[in-house]
């Protein structure tokens, strides 16, 4: 199996990347390698596989056979341990210029195995303006064997000067049948469950896998999609908002607690906590106070990002619900993402008009914008619930 085989429904992108990988092998062999460039921008909607495509391309660049999928080079790239692959994934709300400059210094090194030095920058849209300016300088004049792979939901999320210097790979949302096939063949998911998960995830492969394999994920989805019919009064709206925000906070805490403890413990040891010797422990720990404070700030930022992502996922579930309601109100013959909740969809569709449904969808999108602008989550979600009821 080649490294590109995991890219579901992305035939056009795979063809471009395969040709570029072949051109890269020509460059390594001393040829011109027409079709290979040093900066790439992978874009596409959530779940389309931006990072997976970039990582597969990295494997194709570092593998002598263009991404065979079974050699040590490919395996190391896929698990993130290859010495010539620098993989970056911003964990907080943004990625600052200091970290970006450190990344650029590492990117300037020569490849240890003689092929390429690959920088895979996931969620590059989270880089601040000053950080993007630093990246721009790096991709304008890269070392001869350094390749930048930037990932972003849309080209417009990056500075126009960066976009103009990158070759853009646009990925699409794979269809339900393609995602269901992947779940059935690669994850041994029973066909009915694979169909349900693929349809409910609307082409988001990792989301579909989570729904198929994790009962907790299915329970959280059911709780979110039960909200529209539960908003019978103001009190119910406030309760629904509290529950939604609390669930997001619990998910963020669960996802970060163990990691935070490990990071803090390792940093304290690095600065000498527990060391013996007169005055040694106290002096080193005092010297590390600034580093500990910086780590705590990063951990808080990461927890906030996970909380926001969890809330945003729930809001998109609500959008899919009202999109199905709108389809039923218009009698559109399209696949319903939430076909398993057809009774609820029908009840909501009969109880309102298409105009009201559109206003509800718009209210959800406004709530997403408010959360992205640092509005208090409880206030933003409460306002949303009242709008959905009204």
Nearest to 3 by CA among 52, 72, 64: 52
pLDDT of amino acid 94 = 84
Q: Is 199 exposed, middle or buried (0-12, 13-18, 19+ CB in 10 A)?
A: buried
Query: What residues contact 350, with CB distance under 8 A and at least 6 apart?
Result: none
In angstroms, rounded to a whole number, what is the distance separating the alpha carbons of residues 60 and 66? 4
Question: Which residues are within 8 A (CB) of 304 and not within 5 positions of it... i.e. 6 or more apart?
Answer: 92, 93, 252
Cβ burial, residue 192 (10 Å; 0-12/13-18/19+): exposed
Q: Which fold has domain 234-258+287-389?
A: Zinc Finger, Delta Prime; domain 3 (1.20.272)
Q: What is the pLDDT of residue 295?
A: 78
C-alpha 362 chain-centroid distance: 23
- For the stretch 237-295, pLDDT in tens is 999 999 999 988 888 888 788 778 887 888 777 777 655 555 545 544 555 777 788 87
The secondary structure of 85-103 as a DSSP string is EEEE---SS-B-HHHHHHH
DSSP element (H, E) containing 174:
none
* Cβ proximity of 224 and 341 under 8 Å: no
Distance, CA of 121 to CA of 16 (rounded, Å): 20
Start-end of H helices in the chain: 11-28, 50-62, 72-79, 97-107, 129-140, 160-163, 176-186, 191-201, 205-213, 215-225, 227-230, 234-270, 280-287, 289-330, 342-350, 354-372, 377-389
**Nearest 5°: phi and psi at 33?**
65, 50
> Residue 283: what pLDDT?
45
Q: Which CATH architecture has domain 10-170?
A: 3-Layer(aba) Sandwich (3.40)
Q: Are 101 and 138 in contact (CB under 8 A)?
A: no
Q: Which residues of the chain have pLDDT under 70?
A: 1, 273-287
Only one residue has tokens 């696949």, namely 335
- For 84-131, how does the pLDDT look when each residue is reduced to its tens digit (9 = 90+)? 999 998 877 788 999 999 999 988 888 988 789 999 999 999 999 999
pLDDT at 296: 82
Q: What is the pLDDT of residue 258?
A: 77
The span from the CA of 240 to the CA of 121, in Å, is 37
Domain ranges of the chain: 10-170, 176-213, 234-258+287-389
Dist CA 213 CA 203 (whole Å): 16
Q: Tell how far CA 40 is from the center of its chain.
A: 18
């Amino acid at each position: 199996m080649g490294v590109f085989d995991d890219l579901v429904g992305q035939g056009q992108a795979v063809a471009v990347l395969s040709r570029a990988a072949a051109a890269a092998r020509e460059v390594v062999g001393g040829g011109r390698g027409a079709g290979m460039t040093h900066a790439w921008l992978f874009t596409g909607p959530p779940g389309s596989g931006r990072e997976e495509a970039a990582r597969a391309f990295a494997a194709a660049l570092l593998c002598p056979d263009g991404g065979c999928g079974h050699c040590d080079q490919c395996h190391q790239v896929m698990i993130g341990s290859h010495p010539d692959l620098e993989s970056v994934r911003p964990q907080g709300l943004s990625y600052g210029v200091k970290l970006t400059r450190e990344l650029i210094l590492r990117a300037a090194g020569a490849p240890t195995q003689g092929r390429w030095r690959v920088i895979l920058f996931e969620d590059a849209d989270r880089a601040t303006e000053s950080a993007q300016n630093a990246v721009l300088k790096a991709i304008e004049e890269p070392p001869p064997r350094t390749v930048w792979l930037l990932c972003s939901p849309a080209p417009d999320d990056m500075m126009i000067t960066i976009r103009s210097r990158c070759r853009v790979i646009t990925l699409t949302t794979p269809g339900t049948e393609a995602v269901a096939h992947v779940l059935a063949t690669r994850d041994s998911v029973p066909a009915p469950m694979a169909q349900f998960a693929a349809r409910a995830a609307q082409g988001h492969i990792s989301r579909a896998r989570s729904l198929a394999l994790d009962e907790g994920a299915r329970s959280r989805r059911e709780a979110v999609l039960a909200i529209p019919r539960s908003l019978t009064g103001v009190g119910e709206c406030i309760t629904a908002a509290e529950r939604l925000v609390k669930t997001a906070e619990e998910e963020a805490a669960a996802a970060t607690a163990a990691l935070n403890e490990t990071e803090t413990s390792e940093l304290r040891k690095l600065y000498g906590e527990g060391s013996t010797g007169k005055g040694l422990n106290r002096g080193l720990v005092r010297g590390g106070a600034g580093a500990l404070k910086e780590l705590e700030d990063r951990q808080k930022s990461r927890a906030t990002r996970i909380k926001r992502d969890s809330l945003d996922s729930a809001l998109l579930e609500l959008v899919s619900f009202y999109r199905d309601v709108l389809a039923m109100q218009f009698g559109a013959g399209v696949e319903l993402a939430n076909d398993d909740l057809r009774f609820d969809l029908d009840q909501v569709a009969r109880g309102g008009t298409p105009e009201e449904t559109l206003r509800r969808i718009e209210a959800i999108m406004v709530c997403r914008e408010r959360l992205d602008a640092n509005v208090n989550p409880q206030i933003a979600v409460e306002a949303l619930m009242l709008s959905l009821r009204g």
